[in-house]
């Protein structure tokens, strides 16, 4: 795990340095380079990369048309415990893991690279009772909103920290008489790394 972390970190630093050195914000004398947020069309791939550190994965593919952006994603959280993100009825007696789940996001850039968006995610959570180790699956259709900002390093690589609010209906799992109730609200910081593979200004 530590080796994978350092390899990813080293690759990111090298790639970012190369992109930064090749980027000229002034462009040429006759054709100035526009800032990233003035893009008219773009295709981007990205990842909520901390999921790789917990044995899971996350991939996203997005298309931007002027200020609008649509994105599809798939997530598997590995050993990441999402239960502490829940508010009110979050339970320390249980752990909650993301199994492979798809999502759909629709966003709008309100200012430069500051994006607000709504989303719909079809999560499958694996619920583990800490004391017994028993596990049950819960399927949940989560919706909500987020806000994040794309910090570009050159013309292609970006880091996008943000904050998500997940909302869901009531659902539960029974562990031999002990009932687990999934939190109706999750509050979670997120950070994605991405690459703009194509753009048109």
pTM score of the predicted model: 0.83
Look up residue 16 and give its DSSP letter.
Answer: H
pLDDT at 163: 98
Tokens found for residue 154: 């050159």
The CATH number of the domain holding residue 46 is 2.40.160.20
Interatomic CA distance for residues 46 and 17, integer angstroms: 18
Look up residue 126 and give its DSSP letter.
Answer: E
Q: In 4-156, which ranges are E strands?
A: 41-47, 57-65, 68-76, 94-98, 101-111, 114-129, 135-149, 151-153
Instruction: Show the domain range for 105.
Output: 2-200
Mean pLDDT by 10 residues, the chain (201 residues): 42 43 47 88 97 98 98 98 92 96 98 98 97 95 98 97 98 95 97 98 93
3-state secondary structure of 32: coil
Domain count, the chain: 1
Integer Rg of the chain from CA: 19
pLDDT at 29: 53
């Amino acid at each position: 795990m530590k080796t994978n972390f350092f390899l990813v970190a080293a690759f990111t630093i090298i790639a970012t340095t190369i992109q930064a050195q090749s980027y000229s914000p002034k462009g040429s004398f006759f054709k100035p380079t526009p800032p990233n947020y003035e893009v008219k069309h773009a295709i981007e791939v990205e990842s909520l990369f901390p999921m790789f550190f917990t044995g899971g994965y996350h991939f996203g593919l997005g298309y931007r048309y002027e200020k609008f952006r649509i994105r599809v994603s798939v997530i598997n959280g590995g050993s990441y415990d999402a239960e502490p993100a829940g508010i009110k009825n979050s339970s320390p007696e249980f752990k909650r893991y993301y199994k492979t789940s798809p999502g759909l996001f629709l966003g709008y850039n309100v200012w430069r690279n500051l994006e607000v968006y709504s989303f719909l995610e079809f999560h499958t959570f694996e619920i583990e009772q800490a004391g017994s180790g028993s596990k049950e699956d819960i399927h949940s259709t989560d919706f909500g909103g987020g806000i994040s900002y794309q910090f570009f390093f050159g013309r292609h690589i970006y880091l996008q920290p943000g904050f998500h609010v997940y909302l869901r209906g009531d659902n539960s799992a029974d562990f031999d008489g002990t009932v687990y109730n999934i939190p109706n609200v999750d509050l979670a910081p997120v950070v994605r790394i991405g690459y703009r593979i194509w753009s048109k200004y």
